[in-house]
Structure 1
Amino acid sequence: MMNKGKVFLVGAGPGDLKLITVKGMDAITKADVILYDRLLNPQLLMQAKENCEFIYSGKLPDRHILRQETINRLLVEKALEGKIVVRLKGGDPSVFGRVGEEAEELALNEIEYEIVPGITSGIAAAAYAGIPVTHRNYAGSFAVVTAHDQSADGKPSINWAGLAQGVDTIAFYMGIKNLPFICENLIANGKPSETPVILIQWGTYGRQKTLEGTLATIAELAKEQQFLNPAITLVGEIVKLREKLNWFEKKPMYGRQILLARSGVTESRIANKLRDLGADVIEFPKMKAKKERAELPNLSEYIDILFSSPESVDDFFALLKEEKLDIRSIPRNVYGASSKSIAKLAQFGIMASNMPNDIDPNQLLIIGEKNIEQVYENAHYFYTHEMIIDENYFPIYNRLFEDAAIESVIIPSSTAFTTMMTAAKKMNMDPVSFLKEKMLYCMGKKSSNATSKLTNEQITIPEKPTADELLHMMISQGEELTR
């Protein structure tokens, strides 16, 4: 009989990719199956191992994708198949996440499980709006409250008097629909009508949006501005601190929603920097490397060796080890096609550099992926892998594109552009419409030429093809747009 698997009930945090716990990320990387909700950042799933099964179990206000009973049953079934299963929820699974019901079902079926806490949005969204939920001068108590329940009208039945008179800071989850009901009950039970209120939509994302008012005004303001969920409603005098402490929305790239074209699998320095500066970044498409199992050539025949990518470095040294070849058999002149490749070579003790222009291609061995552009006609090529678009992630990208409003596209190379357009076509998106009315940033002439063949949109190229130069230019343009 097959051994039972294990289930991890994981809180994914509120949206910022870096707010997931180390233990939560560890569970994602080990999972065979992930059941995920709507209110987490789908880009966390990009960290899953190849061939992980994704099951969308998200709930929308007007419909349920999977009923809770079905989710419970799937957790048990997948674990009984001997798999590591992750139930991934936005925020913390114990805060309105039904983790109790799921844990009960697993315990009943004697399935091993762990609950991995996450940062709940009532605290995180408030912090990213510049509001600590407690402060010794403003609030010594804090409560999280569901803004809807399972009754026929969905209006929560709670101790309004105790809440209004006994709690300083109140965070209502997903309360936009019932906002008039909430405000009326708090006022009727003793909360002053001038009590400050803030609505925080998409908290901790670059697209975070806020709306301030009071218990007397916020419902009408939300209706006028068509403010929608997902949002937290924060009530209390502590909201006044936002004027002093609003830090996140002052970041230079706050509010920017950017698509970064990808053609590789290594971590993107540009994407990380943009997120640190406050932007939302979608890296598209997700790639995977299909290994090529060819026999290594006789390395002693070459004077120079060029590695086209960090992935090719890893694959090459793995082959050296597999074939029990001495590292000293590598040609004396070693080059990297990019700073990432050079940095990767340094990890193996090889101090490489950029390749000079006067190389004799007849004595040059290029190590790289199968679809690499063959710049040197007479050079010899050894393919370590082939980069393939991972279509398993297309449903996840559909969700990302639905929620985001992308206004800028960064195209690092002509290969990245071609790969992005191929993926868009596979997802039944029109490539021209995909780029329409977006700010396009190309890292050089090759990527610019490839892009201009498909679109008439204006293309901007930084003076130097570096991440720092690109970011400086984008920040400057953003400042001009907001003046």
Structure 2
Amino acid sequence: MTIGKVHFVGAGPGDAGLITVKGQRAIEKADVIIYDMLLNSKLLEAASLDCELIYCGKTPYSNGIKQSDINALLVSKALEGREVIRLKGGDPAVFGRVVEEAESLEANGISFEIIPGVTSGIAASIYAGVPVTHRNLGRFYAMLTGHGEGLQDIDWKGLVDSIDMMAFYMGAGNLPDICKNLIGHGKPGKTPVLVIRWGTYGRQVTVEGTLDDIAERAREGPLLNPAIILVGEAISLREKLQWFEKKPLFGQQFLVARTGTAKSSLAEGLQELGGDVLEFPKWMSASVKMEESQLLSFLSYERILFISPESIHGFLDSLTEYAIDFRRISSELYVVSSKSKKVLQKRGLSAKLKSEMPETGRLLVIGDRDKNQIDSDYGDADYAQSIEKFVDERFLEILPRMLAEKAVDTVLFSNRHSVDMLMEYTRKANVDSEELLKHASIGVIGKSTGNRVEDYGFSVDMMPEDPSVQGLVALIVNGRFLGSD
């Protein structure tokens, strides 16, 4: 059997957009991904459907899986002839134990590559408004472990005498000792200190102080790992350089209920405004086989209505498979959403919204699920399914871990089906949907969606008069709830 290969990939510090292009491509090609706690699980969505996802997270407060077991797992998966990704938060070579893992591979004749990532000591710092170097305030920068085992090996006197800006990794539990050692070796007690937890995420938390008082300030949080501790005068630039924490939705966590594979403009809009966004459940899709004669018969309909972007992709891909020219479509095309309209426009086809559709003429409805699962009643219309969607159940076990990191502030539903899907799959993920929703604000698009939420016994807090993504985001940004002025 051919021996596989292992890629160590740096996932970056949290913001999923900070992964490298090479790292992203490696994830897409992987047969197995062995991943840590300290990374954005959204990165796993790029994995193929048959890729095996294995969680091996460890924290300073829980031993988790042993390092020797991780080493053995990497070896065994590669010996099966599989392409393995070891996905590690930040950069794999910065306090990432990549050396031990790579040595175990080398000892077993397994080839590997190391793809660097953006380390949190740099990324989290600038997301908090602090440059790690500055021409006047800090020319020398050092990254150090904040673990208790590593503190005893630090040359504290040399550090104080030669380094302007210091970044201690995973040192929240040892913050008093770090401050005591720095002051004891000559660092002024008034030296600025910044502790950053969950850096680059929308849930990023910062506590600012000095060597004299930061331990007490952080204890009031309490501020636990994962955290970066910055020490240096360049922290004084934070007031001018803060950008991330000034975004209007910074610090808020949203759960967007999903019903399809297309990118969520709602989730993207919230993230752009600084929000931390979970999307659930995670969907996959597969084309439904259509015969050429069936496709050709569709072209005789006066009206064709697509109920989702995925249904459009499935239909047009089938036309392409049989080399049927799109220009042969003489039907009037209609869509349920503006997102679907844009999909057709990108293919050079024009469409109108369902609300503009006349009642006369033979109608074909093309959907992405079985006809008996469609909410709307299309009367005597014919129905065809162009694509099959299904929930990727590999992500069910991830949801409880994500919710444990920070409570959800707002749950958002874009249609009736999204309400049913969230209720069904939170249950399958062993998450109490009632507990989740009763402590969160609920926003919906459209009265029908709001009615479905109420069917489950919950109240709707936000529903825009303009039933659109833009309308809902505007309500959230302005903090306008139903019943408020």
SS in structure 2 opposite 1:66? coil
Alignment partner for residue 176 of structure 2, among 172, 175, 180?
Answer: 180
State the shift of 1:290 in Å.
4.4
Aligned mates of 1:356, 1:195 — CA distance in 2: 63
TM-score by length of 1: 0.94
Q: Select which of 423, 426, 431 maps to 1:424.
A: 426
Query: Are the structure 2 counterparts of residues 255 and 463 from structure 1 closer, same or farther at C-alpha, using a change threshold of 3 Å?
Result: same
Q: Does 1:433 align with 2:435?
A: yes
State the shift of 1:373 in Å: 2.6
User: In structure 2, what is the equivalent of residue 397 of structure 1?
Assistant: 399
Summarize deviations over 1:460-481 as a string: whole Å, max 9, x none: 11121222222221111189xx
- Give % identity: 47
Q: Is the alpha carbon distance of 1:333 and 1:183 closer, same or farther for their aligned partners in structure 2, counting shifts above 3 Å? A: same
Q: Distance in 2 between matches of 1:188 and 1:228?
A: 24
- Provide Cα deviations, 1:385-433, integer angstroms capped at 9, x if missing partner: 3322221111111211111210101110001111111111212333322
Whole-angstrom distance in 1 between the partners of 2:325 and 2:6? 44
Which residue matches 2:243? 247
Distance 1:83 1:263 in 2: 32
Contact kept in structure 2, 1:438 and 1:457, CA below 8 Å: no
Count of residue pairs the alignment pairs up: 476
Alpha-carbon shift at residue 301 of structure 1 (Å): 3.5
**1:113 to 1:199, Cα distance in 2 relative to 1, 3 A:** same
Q: For each residue in 1:318-364, what CA deviation from the matched residue of structure 2 results, as whole angstroms up to 9, or x when unmatched? A: 22233443434434312222222222222332222223555346611
- What residue number does 2:3 align with? 4
CA shift, 1:3, in A, is 2.1
For 1:21, give the aligned amino acid: T
1:413-462 Cα deviation digits (max 9, x unpaired):
00111111111121233332221031111100010000011134343111
Following the alignment from structure 1 to structure 2, what is the Cα–Cα distance between the partners of residues 240 and 394?
43
2:476 is matched with which residue? 474
Counterpart selection for 1:219 from 215, 218, 222: 215
Please name the residue that 2:195 is paired with.
199
Q: Aligned-pair RMSD on alpha carbons?
A: 1.9
CA distance in structure 1 between the aligned counterparts of 2:360 and 2:82, rounded to whole angstroms: 50
Q: Secondary structure at the match of 2:284?
A: strand
Which SS does the other structure have where 1:177 is aligned? helix
Structure 2 CA distance for aligned equivalents of residues 318 and 205 of structure 1: 37
CA deviation string 1:232-278 (max 9, x = no partner): 11001111111221111111111110010100011111111111111
Question: Aligned partner of 1:285: which letter?
Answer: P
Q: Distance in 2 between matches of 1:96 and 1:300?
A: 60
In structure 1, the partner of 2:53 is 54
Kept in 1: contact 2:304–2:366 (CA 8 A): yes
Deviation, 1:155, is 4.3
Residues 249 and 380 of structure 1: CA distance in aligned 2, closer, same or farther (over 3 Å): same
- 8 Å contact kept, 1:305–1:331: no
Q: Which moved more, 1:9-18 or 1:384-393?
A: 384-393
Aligned residues of 1:362 and 1:379 also touching (Cα < 8 A): no
Q: Distance in 2 between matches of 1:22 and 1:135?
A: 28
Name the structure 2 match of 1:122.
121
Residues 1:463 and 2:465 are matched in the alignment: yes
Specify the SS of the correspondent of 1:178.
Answer: helix
Structural mapping, 1:33-182, within 5 Å: 33-148=32-147, 151=149, 155-182=151-178
The residue number in structure 2 matching 1:233 is 229
Task: Please give the secondary structure, in 2, of the residue aligned with 1:179.
Answer: helix
Residue number in structure 1 paired with 2:26? 27
- Is the Cα contact below 8 Å between 2:146 and 2:168 reproduced in 1? yes
Contact 2:299 2:331 in 1 (8 A): no
SS of the aligned residue for 2:277 comes to strand
1:71 and 1:472 map into 2 onto residues whose CA distance is 46
Deviations 1:79-106 (CA, angstroms, capped at 9, x unpaired)? 2222111101111101000112222222
Distance in 2 of aligned mates of 1:350 and 1:461: 32
Q: Is 1:299 aligned to residue 295 of structure 2?
A: no
What SS does the aligned partner of 2:386 have?
Answer: strand
- The alignment status of 1:372 with 2:374, answered yes or no, reads yes
User: 8 Å contact 2:302–2:361 — kept in the other structure?
Assistant: no
| Structure 1 counterpart of 2:339 | 340
User: Of 273, 277, 289, which aligns to 1:277?
Assistant: 273
Question: What is the CA–CA distance in structure 2 between the aligned matches of 1:260 and 1:100, rounded to whole Å?
Answer: 39
Residue of structure 2 aligned with 1:289, choices 263, 285, 288: 285
Please, which moves more after superposition, 93-102 or 463-472? 463-472
Instruction: Extract unaligned runs of 5+ from structure 2.
Output: none
Distance in 1, matches of 2:305 and 2:221, equals 56
| Range that drifts further, 229-238 or 154-163 | 154-163
Cα shift at 1:163: 0.7
Say if 2:437 and 2:458, in contact at 8 Å, map to a contact too: no
CA contact (8 A) 1:28 1:86 kept: yes
Q: Distance in 2 between matches of 1:361 and 1:266?
A: 31
Separation (CA, whole Å) in 2 of partners of 1:260 and 1:267 = 12
Question: Shift of the alpha carbon at 1:60?
Answer: 1.8
The question of whether the paired residues in 2 share the 8 Å contact of 1:147 and 1:156 is answered with no
* Residue 388, structure 1, aligned to residue 390, structure 2: yes
Please tell me whether the aligned partners of residues 345 and 351 of structure 1 are also in contact (alpha carbons under 8 angstroms): yes
Task: Spell out, residue by residue over 1:190-230, the C-alpha distance to the aligned partner (whole angstroms, 9 max, x if none).
Answer: 11111111111111111111111111111122223322111
Task: Give the Cα separation in 2 of the matches to 1:62 and 1:434.
Answer: 25
SS of the residue 1:64 aligns to:
coil
Contact in 1 for aligned 2:412/2:442 (Cα 8 Å): yes
- Cα distance between partner residues in 1 of 2:313 and 2:237: 50
Structure 1 residue runs of 5 or longer lacking an equivalent are: none
Q: Describe the superposition over 1:159-206 as per-residue Cα deviations: whole angstroms up to 9, x where unpaired.
A: 111111110000000111111111111111111111111111111111
Q: Given the superposition, is the C-alpha separation of residues 317 and 180 from structure 1 closer, same or farther in structure 2, using an over 3 Å criterion?
A: same
Normalised by the length of structure 2, the TM-score is 0.94
Distance 1:124 1:206 in 2: 14
